[in-house]
Amino acid sequence: MRFDEFWNKVRTLNDWIEFETLKQKKKFKARYYVDNIAVTPEESHQERTIDQNQFIKIWNVSKKHPKHEQYRPVNYQFNYNASYILAIMKHFLGEEGIE
């Protein structure tokens, strides 16, 4: 899947949807909001915004990793929101590859 196809799917998050981080299994809610994703972790209840550029950076790095390494947060320590981004990516990509 190309990034623009992925982002079009992300834009369907008009209402809060519950997700879970892939490694630590921490629950959070996310929704689309003006070319950003609003994320609210269950633990803190403090909403944060993740802009599209952060998703693009994770996407581009992910393309360089073998498939079995793409969803490991340790590969994205440069981004504080990687765990949320990866969970959302996995949700929408499923078994599709990243182009």
The residues spanned by each domain of the chain are 3-93
- What's the predicted TM-score (pTM) here? 0.92
Spatial separation of the C-alpha atoms in residues 67 and 1, rounded to whole Å = 13
Write out pLDDT tens, residues 55-92.
999 999 999 998 888 888 888 888 889 999 999 999 99
Alpha helices in 14-81 (DSSP H): 52-64
Contact 52, 86 (CB under 8 A): no
Write out pLDDT tens, residues 2-44.
999 999 999 999 999 999 999 999 999 999 998 899 999 999 9
How many Cβ atoms are within 10 Å of 77's Cβ, its own excluded?
8
